[in-house]
Amino acid sequence: MAAIELTGLTKRYGEVVGIEDLTFSVEEGEIFGFLGPNGAGKTTAIRTLLGLLSPTSGTARVLGTDVRDESALVDAKRRIGYLPADLGFDEGATGEQILDLHGVIKGDSRREALLARFDPPIERQVREYSTGNERMLGIVQAFMHDPDLVIMDEPTAGLDPLKQERFHEFLDEERERGTTVFFSSHVLSEVRQVCDRVGILRDGRLAALEDVETLLSRGGKRVRIRVEGSLDPDALALPGAFDTESVGEALAFTYAGEYNVLLSRLTEFDVIDIEIGEPPLEDVFMHYYGEEGEADEGESAARRAEVADA
């Protein structure tokens, strides 16, 4: 049985589309990345999956429970961990008090082990926390009752690189334990490191559903090169090269063609420096899924309606 199964899931706010006709599933034990630029509808989808918003049409099943069945969903939520983008902790409470409250509601069998790993200062009030410490506290509360499924919205926002790496290692271990993880992100390096598959959202609709390597192969690589003397952008007008721009004395472009062709062309120049890395996720969207401007405006209106609906 799939841990999450969406069938035509739609949430509208009048004429504004939050999410439209989402149909896909997330398998048990899978780490699934839900991708999209800000404003694509990711948070609306997550809140609908958790029963915090009522779907306009279609449905979803989470751990076998229909999200429209409020009483059954209460039982299912005991097996679900949730890390929202906006944690909303009581700033006057200490971290320990917050965990105590969550522990009474849903259990805390893994609390001490998680505190040892992520180390938020639980003796202090949340108002004294840094953004990273507050996020660490949120991670502990999401996993401390040993859930079967964890749903997270931008889980590493505010974490420094070392804490991000610690969290990614933790997710790898959770996969080995059989935990299903569903999280939204717009950070391509994070998705590549931990996810098995990704769903890409645009204007509230599913634009693609594929494994991570397929996504990256479509996005190509971002190449930055500096050669002796000047370099005319047209000199590297190869099949698969696009978004070429001058960056100081260097030339930068995205390349999705054959690497042997690129390397062969580069032998014609006296190369001083070259960098090859992942393109920004936004570049992947712009090149393969069209302009994103309308999504931001539409989701902003949907978010305002969502707040009013809540």
Q: Residue 274 pairs with which residues in a beta bridge?
A: 225
Strand order in the sheet with 271-277: 241-247, 250-255, 221-227, 271-277
Q: What is the pLDDT of residue 35?
A: 86
Q: What is the pLDDT of residue 81?
A: 97
Q: What is the pLDDT of residue 168?
A: 93
- Given CA atoms 215, 218, 219, 221 in this order, what sign does their dihedral have? positive
> Which phi and psi angles does 66 have, rounded to 5°?
-70, 125
Domains of the chain: 4-216 (3.40.50.300), 221-278 (3.30.70.2470)
Q: What is the pLDDT of residue 186?
A: 75
DSSP codes joined into one string, the chain: --SEEEEEEEEEETTEEEEEEEEEEE-TT-EEEEE--TTSSHHHHHHHHTTSS--SEEEEEETTEETT-HHHHHHHHTTEEEE-SS----TTSBHHHHHHHHHHHH--TTHHHHHHHH---TTSBGGG--HHHHHHHHHHHHHTT--SEEEEESTTTT--HHHHHHHHHHHHHHHHHT-EEEEEE--HHHHHHH-SEEEEEETTEEEEEEEHHHHHHHH-EEEEEEESS---GGGG--TTEEEEEEETTEEEEEE-S-HHHHHHHHTTS-EEEEEEEPPPHHHHHHHHH---HHHHHHHHHHHHHHHHH-
Rounded CA gap, 105 and 171, in Å? 24
Q: What is the pLDDT of residue 301?
A: 46
Q: Under a CB-based contact definition with an 8 Å cutoff, are residues 63 and 5 in contact?
A: no
pLDDT along the chain (310 residues), means of 10: 95 92 96 86 94 95 95 93 94 97 95 96 97 96 97 91 93 96 83 88 88 75 89 84 85 88 91 84 59 42 45
